[in-house]
Amino acid sequence: MTTLILSGCLVLMSLPFVLWPLIRPRDGERGGRG
């Protein structure tokens, strides 16, 4: 259980880095995917 919770935290911590190319604001946009 401890392992699962810890690994869940690690994945959640990585997600902003992983998903940043999909969620970053593009030129002429306020947000969302380009």
CA atoms within 13 A on the CB side of 7: 4
Supply the minimum distance, in Å, between the C-beta of residue 27 and another protein: 9
CA dihedral 5, 6, 12, 14 (to 10 degrees): -160
**First-to-final CA distance of the chain:** 39
Residues contributing to the site for another protein (CB under 8 A): 2-4, 6-11, 14, 17-22, 33-34
Return the number of the residue (3 or 28) whose C-beta is nearest another protein: 3
Supply the minimum distance, in Å, between the C-beta of residue 31 and another protein: 13
Supply the minimum distance, in Å, between the C-beta of residue 14 and another protein: 4
